[in-house]
């Protein structure tokens, strides 16, 4: 699997590696990158995305810190087979999304429950 830059949503106001971490993390959470999937090397990924290899190295390192990737010397970098790490990441992503929704609801003077109820109302 080699990524292309057009497969990622890029926000020029934020560091690229953070965006790659978020988007690869979401791919793992959704199952688009299954446990045990071998990722392309840092060089291959940097070349296909047309970014500095240091950016990809930081991305992979952060995903390893989150226990979502595992690197075996001489074999490559793989999505973890540890289901608990993937579940923990999904939970963190869900909590973060709910927190953003709560902030949005509060910004218009609603509780999260009121916000959801309003969104589900038929016109």
For the question of whether the overall pTM of this predicted structure is more than 0.85, the answer is: no
Question: Given this model, what pLDDT does residue 49 score?
Answer: 86
Please, how many CA atoms are within 13 Å of residue 51, restricted to the half-sphere of its CB? 22
The span from the CA of 2 to the CA of 68, in Å, is 18
Q: What is the phi/psi pair of residue 38, to 5°?
A: -85, 130
In order along the chain (123 residues), what is the average pLDDT of each group of 10 residues?
73 91 93 93 90 95 97 94 95 94 95 92 84
Question: Given this model, what pLDDT does residue 102 score?
Answer: 95
Element at 118 (helix H, strand E): helix 112-120
Taking the CA atoms of residue 114, residue 116, residue 122 and residue 123 in that order, the dihedral angle to the nearest 10 degrees is 60
């Amino acid at each position: 699997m080699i990524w292309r830059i057009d497969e990622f949503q890029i926000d020029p106001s934020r560091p690229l590696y953070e965006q790659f971490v978020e988007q690869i993390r979401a791919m793992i959470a959704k199952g688009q990158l299954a446990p045990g999937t071998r990722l392309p090397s840092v060089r291959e990924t940097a070349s296909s995305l047309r970014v500095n290899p240091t950016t990809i190295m930081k991305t992979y390192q952060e995903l390893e810190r989150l226990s979502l990737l595992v690197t075996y010397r001489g074999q490559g970098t793989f999505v973890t087979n540890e289901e608990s790490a993937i579940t923990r990441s999904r939970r963190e992503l869900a909590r973060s999304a709910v927190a953003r929704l709560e902030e949005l609801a509060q910004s218009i003077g609603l509780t999260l429950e009121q916000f959801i109820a309003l969104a589900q109302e038929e016109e």
